[in-house]
Structure 1
């Protein structure tokens, strides 16, 4: 994405520096040029890692789109360089660079969906339902998944599932082994197979209604 013309909007943050905090008002969003940014959220008095963002990814865009307080805290994991946009210079960007604007709008759409979908997983109280819902999310969003049968094959790892569920790897592995014993999943070194994705859908729906 050609953004050299917007170097005047560049800002840098040192490792460990808080870029913004959950619940504070915000009118800016950020596009990462270098370094990684960690998003964390307090859920039930426990700090959960929502995501670790890489260069070319954006964050904080809900402040522009919904005029809402920050839904998470953003922390620089490395020395970070970002482009910082507010409503005024975002309009300049949109008007002067339609190709970039289109790319940003597509990114906005995906980020909004990802954040809302991830929050749906984290708000489930049942850890087994959280793990099952991660597979449902992957089924909704991953390309090139064969959906001609109820069985699904995901090129993912236990650690990936744990990350999305907001749980530690050991607890996630225990739950997956429980699913293996129930013959609901099979675990391979490079993939995890869900025997019946609709079974997980019914299971998650029943747990979500209870919460």
Structure 2
């Protein structure tokens, strides 16, 4: 994608430099041209890595569009070159490069869907159902999963599953170990295999009917 016309908006950050911090006001968003950016969030007393962004990805746009504080901290992992946009030059970007406008629109639609889908999980009253529903959510949103059978392998960790379910990590591990003891899933260091995703779907649906 040709971004040469926007070179006047470029900025460079050095490795380890904070691009913006969680909770501060957000008046800008960024398009990565080179280097990697790490997004981290403070959960309790633990700093958790949310994502590592690559060139051609955008970040920081939600604070700008929603006029809300930053929801995470962005840190340069390498020498990072970005294009920095604010409200004033945002319109210039949209008019000058429809491809960027379309990419941003798709990103916003996905963010809205993810937020609504996670809200569905959090409204469940049973913690076991919340954990099971996280796997259903991952199954719906991740396109690189083998779906030729009811067995699913997710590249995730027990702590991630607990976080998405909105419960503490200790409780999340207990529930996942309970499911493992029932032979409904297998836990490895960097992935979790659900033996039958349809079993979890039936379980979650039965819990939703009780609400």
In structure 2, stretches of 5+ residues that fail to align are 165-170
1:23 aligned residue: 23
Correspondent of 1:201 among 198, 201, 204: 204
Q: Is the 8 A contact 2:29 2:60 kept in 1?
A: yes
Instruction: With the length of structure 1 as denominator, give the TM-score of the two structures.
Output: 0.72
Are 1:49 and 2:65 matched, yes or no? no
Gap change, CA 1:187 and 1:164, over 3 Å in 2: closer
User: What is the distance in 1 between the residues matched to 2:93 and 2:106?
Assistant: 15
Deviations along 1:178-201, whole A, 9 cap, x unmatched? 423212125699872342222563
Give 3-state SS (helix, strand or coil) of 2:29's partner: strand
- The Cα of 1:49 is off from its aligned counterpart by 1.9
Deviations along 1:11-60, whole A, 9 cap, x unmatched? 11111111111111111011112222111222223322222222222111
User: What is the distance in 2 between the residues matched to 1:120 and 1:14?
Assistant: 40
Instruction: With the length of structure 2 as denominator, give the TM-score of the two structures.
Output: 0.72
User: What is the distance in 1 between the residues matched to 2:18 and 2:153?
Assistant: 33
Q: Is the 8 A contact 1:29 1:59 kept in 2?
A: yes
1:180 aligned residue: 180
2:102 aligned residue: 102
Which shifted more, 173-182 or 131-140?
A: 173-182
- Give the count of matched residue pairs: 202
Give 3-state SS (helix, strand or coil) of 2:26's partner: coil
1:18-97 correspondence runs (5 A): 18-97=18-97
In structure 1, stretches of 5+ residues that fail to align are none
2:168 aligned residue: none
In angstroms, what is the RMSD of aligned CA positions?
Answer: 4.0
